[in-house]
Amino acid sequence: MLKRTYFCGGSVMAVALAMGAAGSAAAQAQPTVVEEVVVTGSFIAGTPEDAALPVDVLGAAELERQGSPSIVQLVKTISASQSALGESNRYNGGAGTATINLRGLGASRTLVLMNGRRLADSTQAAFQGGGQDLGFIPTAATGRVEILKDGAAATYGSDAVGGVVNFITRKDLDGFEVDADYTLIDGSDGDYTVDLAWGSLFDRGNVLLTAGYRHRSRLDINERDWARTPMDAVYYGGWSGSSNPGYYGTPGGTTFFRDNGCNELGGQLTAGVVPTSNTATGSVCRFQFSAFNDLVNEEDHYQLYGELNFDVTDTITFHGEVAWKRSDVPNQRLSPANLTTQFPTPRTAGGTSGSTAVPGFNGQVPYFVPATHPGLIDLRTQCAAPLSAAQCAGMAGGVTMAKAFWRAIAHAGHPTNPDGADYQDIQNTSFRVSGGFKGEFGNGIGWDAALTYMETESVIVTNDLLVNRIQHALNGLGGPGCNPATGVPGVGPCQYFNPFTNSIATSAVNGAANPYYRGGANPAVLNNPALVEWLYGTYTNVGTNNILVADLVFNGETGIELGGGNIAWAAGGQYRYSRSRDDWENLGDVRATPCVDSIDDGLPICSDPVGPFVFFGAQEDYDVDRDVEALFAEVRLPFTDDFEVSAAVRHEEFGGQVGSTTNPKISARWQATDWLAFRGSAGTTFRAPGQTQISPGSSKGVSNIGGSYRAVVTNNNPGLQPETAKTYNFGVLLDTGAFKASVDYFKFDFEDELVLEPTQAIYDSLNCSNAAIVARFIFDGACSPANVINVSRFVVNGPSTKTSGLDFKAQYDFDDFFGTDMVDARVSMGLDGTYLLTYDRSDFTLFGADTVVIQRAQDRVGRHELTGEFYSYPRLRATGFVNVNGGTWNVRYQVQYREGTEIIGAPCPASGASAACRYDRASATFINVGKSDDYWQHDLTGQIELPWNTTVSAGIQNILDTDPPFVQSMYNYDYTNGNPLGRTFKIGIKQRF
């Protein structure tokens, strides 16, 4: 017969404190019959949860006592997890996904499993460093979660660097369940979830079917006053120097005036980086594009899951599962137009611009407004202050736009969307099927064979302005019915696009009337909304990841007896096939539309094909795949009843230039006394570069660089090698019955880290006499930090990183209510946390020029960087709780603590030219932002069992309605640790039939 084990919530919860969930179930959960427990981190059957490796386990009952948190909320309570996707709109991708990032090493370095089998990498999470989408996990089917907080390449192979999270489905449902909840959120329509589950237990197995739906309502940034603040520094808060009103110049490209209305429309003039009301030409107009964003996107999530387990014979069991998930992010709100990094070509070269400026990158010149443009004529003739007579006279021959300080649409908003924002739609769909058999030979050797296939696809539909359409419309030859080759400017279907603020009646940013508006007196300056909408081009990007995994594992005992029992072993192999594809619709496909002129069906004019859009670069489709073969072995040596040693080794073969890698690991556990035990482990781990990263190609995005959002081109690197790490863990465990505690010291030593070159560091290293640095930039004119419009970076094997810290947890279980018999209640109290000791990175050198240091060695403990690299490392993260259980009811109080952080880098200089600065308007000086406030969040949840198999739950999250502390980021808070929702109220009901 197949071995079955029994465990109760109390035994599991002895090691579950790191989830911040423990207390409630430790003594109260009823024993449950489950299939054999194979603890994450070992393939040897019967490995206990409190073995040599630091594994934490959280069961379904514990999750209920936490208030059935969403995956996003759950990840935030795990003290060992930092800087993950999920709660907030992170602007540069990842919408609709949630990831986990153990040890803050990156979500791509935490391996996520479902029932012990791999998931495919999320195509959307790739925008923020990779990883698997936790939203795929079927909520209604989850029975427990196991978290291994240690490197596990010796067991699971590539990607298990920071640890492993294994979601295991339930096997005990016999009947039908309906579970629904609603969360009230101020300023939002609230979030709600409905889960259905049906299960049946029969003599030789069980079947489980679940369906789930979750809706998240959008939370506008304007609903939180701390998220959208006046500009007091140009490095955060969603402010950009690429604006409208913008800078204009002579036909030759020399800047000489700025359009009117910046402060009046909701922008901010700055002299350098100092906020000012000075309207002199030298001041820059800043535009807060985040005014058109949401703190939380509207999202719809759908899940379906089915599972079948049955005994084929007395010694063979079948397991099969199928899962499907879709997430929709409709109308994700964005700035009405992107900043401009591409420009038209001059008429003398067959292009669309009449500018006489000297062609720059790709033979392009600034956008040009001819002297006959009605908006320019009105601007020049009215010559409203603060424009000077000399400036207005200089407009007579037409004007150009300054490349670095202009965008086509800003404070005017999108013309046909009522909220003024532009929209993009994102849909993620995933499908997974897994099945296999396990059994036992007559000689007692067990075996497990499985095959798993998964596909995940993202479809992104987004917009960007088309360079040539803008220039045609500036020439009066715009509009869907106008032929630029034969039309007459401003006649019939041919229309002018007016880029000046005299066309804006009311600001889409602050709702204020524009004192410079001229449309009432001169309708010729108005923009036709249909014309402006015509300026946008739409493209669709479809990204697909596939994975096929075949596993074969054998395990058993050797028959060699040691003092503590037989030597146990496991061995096996794995084959993995992965494939990544990216398909771009024509406007986004660089082969179909290589240049800005390509949309006119004329001769493309460009030396560097980057597409037709003002900002988004066109991409080339790719289709890459990889085969990986692996062999592994594991042995457990029980030298005595109290002391055992385990060893494991895994060899993976990637082929090609990546080659192969072999990773060993050793661990030990010593039960020194009945109440005291020690454990430790040491090993090596690795992560191979993705096949996409080592394939030729590049992609284009945006980053806050030098206080302005600028274009960033990310280049792949065929020369990448795997990153490697040495991992260590040493722990002390105490168990006196009512009191359980543990402290673990962890250490990770990285080499050849797979990482993107930091764009801010490249920018800060700009030296116009260093050809290697200069080659990374595109300038609007001469080499100068102020003239940078594009930065190029590479995926590289970067610096070494060393991180270490302490995990701690403790729980005390009372058999009564603090020594009394009040209402027969029992109490559990607990605390868990992570204290970060070190996070040191060595010097970062420029790829291709190893003698050029672009970033000096860093200590990231207690530091953050949330405008470009997206990390935050509080020194201390901790969660405490008090749980009171009365049999049919349960009440839990929980408090989360996150120590404040400060931005990494130099302190604030007097000039204010640093992200560490904030402008103090009272003293008219810049001050150092310093360390952010510590963050405390208090939560209260309760459940009561009613007759009729009904459970009602209620909870208040963030009881004190505490705002997240300010840190330098686009939304002015730490979205990896803080909570933007404020106080929320949740009510739920579960009905069992």
Residue 742 pLDDT grade (very low, low, confident, very high; cuts 50, 70, 90):
very high
- Cβ(15)–Cβ(47) under 8 Å? no
**Which pLDDT belongs to residue 178?**
96
Residue 840 has a CB neighbour count (10 Å cut-off) of 16
Average pLDDT over residues 784-805: 90
Mean pLDDT of the chain: 88
**Which pLDDT belongs to residue 313?**
94
Average pLDDT over residues 338-344: 90
Question: With the CA atoms of 125, 126, 127 and 133 taken in that order, what torsion angle do they form, in degrees rounded to the nearest 10?
Answer: 0
Tens digits of per-residue pLDDT, 760-782? 889 989 999 999 999 999 887 78
Cα distance between residue 402 and residue 396, in whole Å: 17
**Which pLDDT belongs to residue 5?**
33
CA separation, residue 711 to residues 118, 149, 697 (Å): 35, 37, 17
Closest CA to 90 of 899, 794, 702, 712: 702
3-class DSSP assignment, residue 833: strand
Tens digits of per-residue pLDDT, 203-213? 999 999 999 99
Cα distance between residue 568 and residue 555, in whole Å: 8
**Considering the entire predicted model, what is its pTM?**
0.90
Is pLDDT at 31 greater than 50 in this prediction? no
Is pLDDT at 644 greater than 80 in this prediction? yes
- Cβ(132)–Cβ(121) under 8 Å? yes
Cα distance between residue 852 and residue 765, in whole Å: 9
Is pLDDT at 576 greater than 80 in this prediction? yes
Cα distance between residue 911 and residue 928, in whole Å: 12
Closest CA to 796 of 689, 711, 710: 689
Q: What is the DSSP code string of 142-200?
A: EEEEEEE-S--HHHH-TT-SSEEEEEEE-----EEEEEEEEEEETTS--EEEEEEEEEE
* Distance of alpha carbon 444 from the chain centroid: 46
- Cβ(264)–Cβ(516) under 8 Å? yes
In the numeric block, the tokens 């001469």 are attached to 782
Residue 513 pLDDT grade (very low, low, confident, very high; cuts 50, 70, 90):
very high
**Which pLDDT belongs to residue 104?**
83
Instruction: Record the tokens describing residue 778, joined without a space.
Output: 């595109």
**Which pLDDT belongs to residue 50?**
63
Question: With the CA atoms of 860, 866, 867 and 868 taken in that order, what torsion angle do they form, in degrees rounded to the nearest 10?
Answer: 60
Cα distance between residue 492 and residue 501, in whole Å: 24
Residue 87 pLDDT grade (very low, low, confident, very high; cuts 50, 70, 90):
low
Tens digits of per-residue pLDDT, 142-186? 988 888 888 888 888 888 888 899 999 999 999 999 999 999 999
Residue 18 pLDDT grade (very low, low, confident, very high; cuts 50, 70, 90):
very low
- Cβ(150)–Cβ(41) under 8 Å? yes
**Which pLDDT belongs to residue 89?**
54
Residue 844 pLDDT grade (very low, low, confident, very high; cuts 50, 70, 90):
very high
Tens digits of per-residue pLDDT, 278-322? 877 778 899 999 999 999 999 999 999 999 999 999 999 999 999
- Cβ(128)–Cβ(100) under 8 Å? no
Closest CA to 795 of 694, 691, 722, 868: 694
Is pLDDT at 8 greater than 70 in this prediction? no
Pick the range with the lowest mean pLDDT from 220-224, 568-572, 822-826: 822-826
- Cβ(85)–Cβ(128) under 8 Å? yes
In the numeric block, the tokens 């030729």 are attached to 696
Tens digits of per-residue pLDDT, 880-903? 999 999 989 999 999 999 999 999
**Which pLDDT belongs to residue 32?**
38
Tens digits of per-residue pLDDT, 940-961? 999 999 999 999 999 999 999 9
| Amino acid found at 219 | L
Average pLDDT over residues 831-840: 95
**Which pLDDT belongs to residue 696?**
81
> What residues form DSSP beta bridges with 424?
332
Residue 608 has a CB neighbour count (10 Å cut-off) of 11
Cα distance between residue 387 and residue 375, in whole Å: 15
Cα distance between residue 510 and residue 655, in whole Å: 58
CA 515-518-524 angle, to 5 degrees, is: 160
**Which pLDDT belongs to residue 39?**
65
The set of residues, in sequence order, having a beta carbon less than 8 Å from that of 57 and lying 6+ positions away, is: 12, 13, 15, 16, 39, 49, 144, 145, 146, 147
**Which pLDDT belongs to residue 359?**
87
Average pLDDT over residues 820-841: 91
**Which pLDDT belongs to residue 305?**
98
Question: What is the distance in angstroms between the CA of the first residue and the CA of the last residue of the chain?
Answer: 32
Residue 686 pLDDT grade (very low, low, confident, very high; cuts 50, 70, 90):
confident
Average pLDDT over residues 810-832: 88
Tens digits of per-residue pLDDT, 402-411? 888 899 999 9
Is pLDDT at 842 greater than 80 in this prediction? yes
Closest CA to 465 of 489, 500, 497, 511: 497
Average pLDDT over residues 325-347: 92
Pick the range with the lowest mean pLDDT from 128-137, 613-622, 649-658, 735-744: 128-137
Tens digits of per-residue pLDDT, 658-669? 888 899 999 999
Residue 628 pLDDT grade (very low, low, confident, very high; cuts 50, 70, 90):
very high
Cα distance between residue 508 and residue 512, in whole Å: 8
Residue 22 pLDDT grade (very low, low, confident, very high; cuts 50, 70, 90):
very low
By percentage, how much of the chain surpasses pLDDT 70?
94
Instruction: Record the tokens describing residue 512, joined without a space.
Output: 């204020």
3-class DSSP assignment, residue 408: coil
Look up residue 364 and give its DSSP letter. -
**Which pLDDT belongs to residue 913?**
84
Residue 21 pLDDT grade (very low, low, confident, very high; cuts 50, 70, 90):
very low
Is pLDDT at 420 greater than 90 in this prediction? yes
